Amino acid sequence: MQAVSSTLSGNIRVIIIDNPPVNATSQAVRAGLMQAIEQAGADAAAQAVVIACAGATFVAGADIKEFGKPPLDPHLSVVIHAIESSAKPVVAAIHGNALGGGLELALGCHYRVADRRARLGLPESTLGIIPGAGGIPRLLRLVGVERALDMAAGGKPIGAAEAREAGLVDELAQDDVRAAAITFAERLLAQGRGARRTRELPVPAFDPGVFDAARARFQASHRGQLAPQACMDVAQHGVSADFDESVAHGRERFRELVASPQAAALRHAFFAERVATKPAGLPAEDAAPVRKAGVVGAGTMGTGIAMCLLNAGIPVTLVEQNEKVLAASVETIRKTYRNDVAKGRIGEDTREARCNALAPTLEYGALRGCDLVVEAVFEDMDVKRQVLAAIEEVLEPDAIIASNTSFLDIDALAAGLRRPENVVGMHFFSPAHIMKLLENVRGARSSPRALASAQALGKRLGKVAVMVGVSDGFVGNRMLARRTRECYFMLEEGALPEQVDRVLREFGFPMGQFQLNDLAGLDVAWRNRQSRLHRLSEREAACDILDEIVASGRLGQKTGAGFYTYDEKRNRSVDPAISDLIVRNAERRGIRRRAISDDEILERCLYAMINEGARILEEGVASRPEDIDTIWLNGYGFPRFRGGPMFHADQVGAARICERIRHYASQAGEAYWTPSPLLLAQARDGSGFYSR
């Protein structure tokens, strides 16, 4: 099969790209297009050209197999230049996605007709690169500077209707976009309209301050990232320089960025997620069909999980023991959907369907007939065991029972049941209807069917679902606990919350440790600490800064004060009372505070996590480093442009990490800092997590 073919429809030459699955701009496509456009030019029977795609989508990007390899001729910008230079008018027929190189190709065509469900965008910056084939200078001529900056630097695609309104698309097609594009081309010919080259269009008027404003906006929203700023540079160049020169400038910046560590990390993140969400040996065909689901416990998590299920079109029976809590949960769900309608996210019919699909109840018996039930009651082994037994009692023998526990042992939870093989962990993150990550937990007795069901359901809910093993805190919370411990130790040794948080933010986390604590509620952290006090080391148990803050009634954002104070808009400010409390706490306990450098803060936070991550791999709790990176990227705000903790570890090098771990051991003792055998082995042989 040829990647590019062409046929004649009347006097229109229709060029068809057929390169499954997404019609990527592979070398064969580029070469095929080059040849086809030359032939169309020479064909006396053809007066106009349509470029369309076979399959589910228009060209949706570059060929990821060519990533990181030397470029193969012809370069996409050369192909696009040839198309744009055609003397005969060229119309792009867009359905599905026109993304990245695909949109650049469409921009090089003289007109664009799009299916009304199509999406158009330049997502390159999310991979640390920029459009390298003239996409930005062309886009800004069609949609104006401001929108072009948003699309290129933000990377978010827009829908066809918005694209039409912005001037990116000339006509929307109702159904058959190829036929509509042919009709459009015929009309052009009938009206005597010829080629309209995007490069020759004037740049629409713009406010000169638009660049500075966008730079500042993206500096705040994409802190530390190079690609969005490079998009600004290219756009700025594109409005002032000669067109060819600005395309050349864009190509140059593309070459620079594609070789940058940020692009490597973002590419890694992309591939890691693909690996991590496909655990070996759990085919989707084995999964139980989920036609009706149950949720038990209508607190914070149960409410969010119920919404996830409803959003995916699954009817939900929501069981709670407390009538008031149940009513509040139902009201939260209804309010969220009313809000979604008000914001235009869903239609009134969808809202109604979702609300009707929710069956709130105080009776376990109502769970009868559910294919899968998620338990989200209090984090207490005895309570959960009773609840699981009550659920099992009313379900069919093959129904799946999932626990949303954060820390408890799935094997112990399942032990008292008649059919422990039906039990898995499904660890959602808060707020459950928003957070992408789902840690599915493989119990020792979980059946492949139960595990496949959890994975398939995660996918259906639009989650990034990663399978992990049983362990205290599974993968994410177990590593976070190591970081948290260091953060509290650093407070008593000499740091203040604002310094620790600033260092983490500067590394790229959206918020620091203590901001996170304030957001989640200090009472939650405190209760968690109390429940494990007997398992803590002497030093950890004695480190009671959190206890003091909670005792003073500061529970975080919800009470307007925690590690910081908050105004009505939840803007935080540093509170000298907290600095005092921390200093006095150290004095009382005879600790001499010292200045702690930013480097030390970052190293202790990251290396404590990485060392724990290495142990998690050694123990098989995570099967692959990709699983850990994916969890941290999607559930804990690890900066994507750094690839995840394990990828980052490889960039630093195991030898260096082990050396620093030994250094901290000399300060704090080996109980806290002992390099894992895996890291030591890597340090010895110069390997890393990804060079196995």
Ligand X SMILES: NC(=O)c1ccc[n+]([C@@H]2O[C@H](COP(=O)([O-])OP(=O)(O)OC[C@H]3O[C@@H](n4cnc5c(N)ncnc54)[C@H](O)[C@@H]3O)[C@@H](O)[C@H]2O)c1
Q: Which residues bind ligand X (CB under 6 A)?
A: 296-302, 319-322, 325, 376-379, 383, 387, 404-406, 428-430
**Does residue 208 have a cis bond before it (omega within 30 degrees)?**
no
Write down how long the chain is. 692
Residues ≥6 apart with Cβ < 8 Å to 46: 8, 11, 12, 13, 40, 88
Measured from the CB atom, the residue of 133 and 438 that comes closer to ligand X is 438
Is the CB of 229 or the CB of 300 nearer to ligand X?
A: 300
Nearer to ligand X, 262 or 404 (CB): 404
3-state secondary structure of 419: coil
Cα Dmax for the chain: 92
Closer CB to ligand X, 227 or 522, in the complex: 522
CA 551 centroid distance within chain: 37
Residue 60 — φ and ψ, nearest 5°?
A: -105, 15
- Least separation in angstroms between CB 324 and ligand X: 9
Q: How far apart are CA 452 and CA 14, in angstroms?
A: 44
Structure-token pair, residue 185: 């081309």
Assigned token pair, 645: 């903790």
Helix (H) or strand (E) segment spanning residue 157 = none
On whether the CB atoms of residues 31 and 78 are closer than 8 A, the answer is: no
On the 0-12 / 13-18 / 19+ scale of CB atoms within 10 A, 667 is exposed
By beta-carbon proximity to ligand X, the closer residue of 376 and 450 is 376
**104 is known as an active-site residue:** yes
Query: Least distance from C-beta 405 to ligand X, angstroms?
Result: 5
Q: Which is nearer to ligand X, 252 or 323 (CB)?
A: 323
- State the Cα–Cα distance between residues 513 and 520, nearest whole angstrom: 11
Minimum CB separation of residue 447 from ligand X in Å reads 22
Contact yes or no for 48/18 (Cβ under 8 A): no
CB of 49 closer than 8 Å to CB of 90: yes
Q: Residue 505 Cβ, how far from ligand X at the closest point, in Å?
A: 21
Residue 189, amino acid: L
Nearest to 137, CA basis, from 251, 255, 246, 249: 246
Q: CB–CB of 94/58 below 8 Å? A: yes
Min dist CB 367 to ligand X, Å, is 11
Nearest-approach distance from CB 382 to ligand X, in angstroms: 11
Nearest to ligand X of 338, 527 (CB atom): 527
> Least Å distance between CB 476 and ligand X?
10
Q: Catalytic residue among 84, 124, 486, 612, which?
A: 124
Tell me the two tokens of residue 627. Answer: 């699983």
Tokens, residue 598: 């930013």
Q: How far apart are CA 621 and CA 468, in angstroms?
A: 6
Hunting for tokens 């205290």 — which residue is that?
472
Closer Cβ to ligand X, 119 or 478, answer by number: 478
Radius of gyration of the chain (CA): 28
Residue with tokens 């702690």: 596
CB of 472 to ligand X, least distance (A): 13
Q: Which is nearer to ligand X, 320 or 626 (CB)?
A: 320
Residues 6+ apart with CB under 8 A from 503: 512, 598, 601, 602, 605
For residue 379, give the DSSP letter: S
Q: Where are the beta strands (DSSP E) in 323-455?
A: 358-361, 372-375, 400-403, 423-428, 437-442
635 versus 644: smaller Cβ distance to ligand X = 635
Least distance to ligand X from the beta carbon of 290, Å? 20
For residues 76 and 82, the answer to whether their CB atoms sit within 8 Å is: no
Among 38, 66, 84, 104, the one annotated catalytic: 104
Taking CB atoms, the residue at the shortest distance from ligand X is 299
Decide the pairing of beta strands 437-442 and 464-469.
parallel
Neighbouring C-beta atoms of residue 439, cutoff 10 Å = 28
In the block, tokens 């976009």 appear at 177
- Outline where DSSP puts E strands in 24-125: 48-53, 90-94, 97-99, 111-115, 119-121
Instruction: Give me the least distance between CB of 563 and ligand X, in Å please.
Output: 18
Give me the least distance between CB of 411 and ligand X, in Å please: 16
DSSP string covering 269-310, please?
HHHHHHHHTS-TT--GGGSPP-SSEEEE--SHHHHHHHHHHH
Residue type, 193: R
- C-beta of 248: minimal distance to ligand X in Å? 51
Q: Which is nearer to ligand X, 120 or 387 (CB)?
A: 387
**CB contact at 8 A, 62 and 104:** no
Using the minimum distance from each CB to ligand X, give the nearer residue, 247 or 413: 413
Q: Which is nearer to ligand X, 218 or 429 (CB)?
A: 429
**Which residues are bridge partners to 472 per DSSP?**
none
Instruction: Give the burial string for 541-558 (b: 16+ CB within 10 Å, else e).
Output: eebbbbeebbeeebbbbe
Query: Catalytic site residues?
Result: 104, 124
